[in-house]
Amino acid sequence: ARLDVTETFHHISFPGHIHTQDSLNYALHFQFQDRDTVIATYPKSGTTWMQEIVTLVKNRGDPQLSKTVPNWARAPWLEQHYSAKLLEATQGHRIITTHLPYNLLASALQGSKAKVIYVARNPKDVAVSYYHFHKMAKFLPEPNSFDEFLDSFLEGSVSYGSWFDHVKGWTSQAGVLANVLYISYEEMWLDLQGSMERISSFLQCPLVGEELTNSMRHCSFSSMRDNAMVNYTLIPKEIMDHSKGKFMRKGKIGDWRNTFTEEQIGLFDTVYSYQMQDCPLTFMWE
Ligand code: PPS
């Protein structure tokens, strides 16, 4: 049985087992504090990786918290129903995650000095990763074939809405939001050390020596794959069926080549160039 009840909010569908109209409205009216760190991503773009990196940076490479507290408790998703209680109980620095598109958070973030980290990933890899995730996540609809899923992805009718709108919305805030860092999954993959240095200076917590090497070790794909606090193996099989795939699936860049047909590449590239012509940033994969 699947749990794919959807909650539709501002024309976007959200998994209904963790989102309610109240929890989504709570996010829209959230009072950000200047010392908050906000991780904003479209699903499958490196969210969990960034949650781990920020946790490690804030703990100067000490993995204690990363290894004992699940990611959703130390970096809760603002829009999910359990987060209000958690966030209100947190004293001091908070790490807040969100998959919401920028327009829904625009008024809450207006004038805020919270530090925002936006992570984007090559949308072809996002589509493949999201497709596999739909097979294991019982709270998402059965994806059927990749071809069918790709149509929904390109049309923006998947959960959390359109990848294009998400990326265009958040990147339109370069120079508008007081504190925002744009980084891609690809940059992190190709140069983890340089990325960690950028992220830690942005968070005003620059890492040195062992702090940096320890952080890098603990947020590597193999270390995270084996860490139950981030690999989602704690989630019961009624919600995530681990026999249908792994959350920490491959962790590669350019793996889409093993899935896309020539025809799908053609379709994707056509939609991409049309949709992205007014995007203010260019990405490494372009
Ligand atoms: S979610 O469901 O939105 O929170 O998913 P998200 O965490 O954004 O994305 C999951 C993909 O990120 C990969 N991942 C990593 N890649 C490299 N290094 C590290 N440390 C890492 N941690 C997670 C994960 O494997 C998913 O990508 P795919 O391509 O499916 O393997």
- Residue 252 makes CB contacts below 8 A (sequence gap 6+) with 125, 189
**Averaged confidence pLDDT in the chain:** 95
Distance, in Å, from the CA atom of 274 to the CA atom of 266, rounded to the nearest integer, reads 13
Which of 98-107, 174-183, 187-196 shows the lowest per-residue confidence on average (mean pLDDT)? Answer: 174-183
Ligand 1 center to residue 221 CA distance, Å? Answer: 9
Closest-lying ligand 1 atom to the alpha carbon of residue 133: 30
ipTM for this model: 0.99
| pLDDT score recorded for residue 234 | 95
Ligand 1 center to residue 48 CA distance, Å? Answer: 6
CATH of 19-276, one of 3.40.718.10, 3.40.50.720, 3.40.50.300, 2.40.50.90: 3.40.50.300
Please determine, for residue 138, whether its predicted confidence score (pLDDT) is greater than 90.
yes
**Domain residue ranges in the chain:** 19-276
Please determine, for residue 95, whether its predicted confidence score (pLDDT) is greater than 90.
yes
Q: Is the CB of 49 under 6 A from ligand 1?
A: yes
Q: Is the CB of 46 under 6 A from ligand 1?
A: yes
Residue by residue, DSSP assigns 94-114 as -EEEE---HHHHHHHHTT---
Task: Reduce the DSSP state of residue 120 to 3 states and report it.
Answer: strand
Nearest CA to ligand 1 atom 10: 44
Nearest CA to ligand 1 atom 14: 251
What average pLDDT does the segment 103-107 reach? 96
Ligand 1 center to residue 198 CA distance, Å? Answer: 20
Q: Give the pTM.
A: 0.97
- Write out pLDDT tens, residues 208-239: 999 999 999 999 999 999 999 999 999 999 99
Backbone angles phi, psi at 7, to 5 degrees: -110, 115
Distance, in Å, from the CA atom of 234 to the CA atom of 111, rounded to the nearest integer, reads 38
Distance of CA 98 to the CA centre of its chain: 7
99, 132, 134, 166: which one is catalytic?
99
Amino acid at 103: N
- Write out pLDDT tens, residues 144-189: 999 999 999 999 999 999 999 999 999 999 888 889 999 999 999 9
Distance, in Å, from the CA atom of 93 to the CA atom of 115, rounded to the nearest integer, reads 11
81: annotated active-site residue: no
Q: Is the CB of 44 under 6 A from ligand 1?
A: yes
Is the dihedral angle over the CA atoms 227, 229, 235, 236 positive or is it negative?
positive
- Write out pLDDT tens, residues 255-281: 999 999 999 999 999 999 999 998 888
Closest-lying ligand 1 atom to the alpha carbon of residue 224: 20
Distance, in Å, from the CA atom of 151 to the CA atom of 148, rounded to the nearest integer, reads 5
